Structures are given as structure tokens and as C-alpha cells.
């Protein structure tokens, strides 16, 4: 039986932007779920990332806001220097507690929070990065019935993050960059 996807969360750090720029142009504009991007990036009010990603896709791209309702066909970007929590009513909650794995936003925090809300309707994808953020969250997603995929570490600019999740997390499969857009389009 095929599992549905209500939300796709993509986590990444160093090297992940390059992957997103290759994947976004090939995504269908009528996806039946939301995409949330949890990317390690510098603090600031610069919206260049949002504009750059918006120029690459037909989906609506925006930096998410506190208490905003999650809606399909949107790509939401977590603002820098905030952890993202998902509320039971499927709204966003931003948190400024301590960094996790030296990061805020933390991929682990978002994966774990979303796992409790979306359960088997959650799909997570971990891209290139240079720390272990995402590994613990991957285990929580799987324990709640969700699915976890990682970028092939061989193709990652910083392979540690997907490799660590592959070795110590609980993942469903490894995806090559050229497979990611098709994978997302068929969720």
C-alpha cells in the first residue's frame, strides 16, 4: 500500500543549495503537499535565498512566519536563527532555544517535531552537510511511521551529514541528485 505525503521536509547545510538549484526547476507546480526547507545559514534579514529559489520553480517560495498554516504547493524556508516546531494544528512555531548540533535552525528539532504531528504522512530528505544534524531526527521520523531519504554522500559537497544518517539513522533509501526531482514529483 502506497503511503501518502502531507509534508516533505528537506534538511541541508554546506553544499545543499547547489542540489536545490538543480532539483527545483524540475518540480511539478501542483504538488499535493508542502515542502519545508531547514537549511543552515547565516543570520540576517537578507531575502536573497528566497528570491533565488523562487526564480527556479513554479511553486510559491516564502520564508515561513510564526503561526502560519501549512499549505500544499508552497515551499517554506525556515528563517535563520530560529528552530522550527510544527504544532498539532499544522501551523509553524518558531523557537530561539539553544543551538542543537551547533545549528539554529536544527534539522533534528524540526524532524522530531514534525514526526509527532504528521507521523506516516511525513517524508524527510537529508542533503549535503558537514555535521550530524538530522540523524537523531531521522530515527524519530521512522519510529513514528514516516519515511527518510538521504542524498548519495558520493555526490554531496559535504558528505558527512547524509553519510552519518545513512550509517546511524534509520533511512529508507539513498538518492542520487538526478533522481531527487522525480522522487519528489511522485510522492
For the chain of 187 residues, list the mean pLDDT of each consecutive stretch of 10.
85 96 97 97 76 96 97 96 97 94 94 97 97 96 97 97 93 97 96
Flag whether 36 is in a domain: yes
Positions marked catalytic = 13, 40, 133
CATH number, domain containing residue 155: 3.40.50.180
Flag whether 140 is in a domain: yes
Helices (H), the chain: 16-23, 48-54, 107-118, 135-143, 160-168, 177-185
What is the C-alpha separation between 61 and 52, in angstroms, rounded?
A: 10
Half-sphere exposure of 138 (CA within 13 A, CB side): 25
Residue span of the structural domain in which 119 resides: 7-185
The predicted structure's pLDDT at residue 1: 47
The answer for residues whose C-beta is within 8 angstroms of residue 90's C-beta and 6 or more apart is: 69, 70, 117
Flag whether 2 is in a domain: no
Flag whether 1 is in a domain: no
Domain count, the chain: 1
The predicted structure's pLDDT at residue 141: 97
Flag whether 59 is in a domain: yes
Flag whether 128 is in a domain: yes
The predicted structure's pLDDT at residue 102: 87
Flag whether 62 is in a domain: yes
Give the relative orientation of helices 135-143 and 160-168 as an angle to the nearest 10 degrees.
40
What is the C-alpha separation between 138 and 184, in angstroms, rounded?
A: 18
Flag whether 23 is in a domain: yes
Amino acid at each position: 500500500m502506497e503511503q501518502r505525503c502531507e509534508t516533505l521536509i528537506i534538511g541541508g547545510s554546506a553544499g545543499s543549495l547547489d542540489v536545490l538549484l538543480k532539483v527545483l526547476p524540475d518540480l511539478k507546480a501542483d504538488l499535493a503537499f508542502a515542502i519545508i526547507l531547514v537549511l543552515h545559514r547565516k543570520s540576517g534579514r537578507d531575502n536573497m535565498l528566497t528570491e533565488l529559489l523562487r526564480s527556479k520553480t513554479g511553486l510559491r517560495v516564502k520564508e515561513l512566519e510564526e503561526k502560519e498554516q501549512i499549505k500544499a504547493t508552497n515551499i517554506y524556508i525556515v528563517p535563520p536563527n530560529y528552530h522550527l516546531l510544527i504544532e498539532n494544528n499544522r501551523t509553524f512555531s518558531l523557537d530561539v532555544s539553544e543551538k542543537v548540533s551547533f545549528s539554529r535552525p536544527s534539522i533534528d528539532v524540526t524532524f522530531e517535531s514534525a514526526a509527532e504531528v504528521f507521523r506516516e504522512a511525513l517524508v524527510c530528505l537529508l542533503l549535503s552537510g558537514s555535521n550530524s544534524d538530522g540523524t537523531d531526527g531521522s530515527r524519530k521520523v521512522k519510529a513514528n511511521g514516516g519515511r527518510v531519504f538521504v542524498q548519495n554522500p558520493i555526490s554531496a559537497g559535504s558528505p558527512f551529514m547524509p553519510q552519518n544518517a545513512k550509517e546511524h539513522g534509520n533511512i529508507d533509501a539513498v538518492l542520487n541528485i538526478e533522481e531527487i526531482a522525480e522522487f519528489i514529483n511522485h510522492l
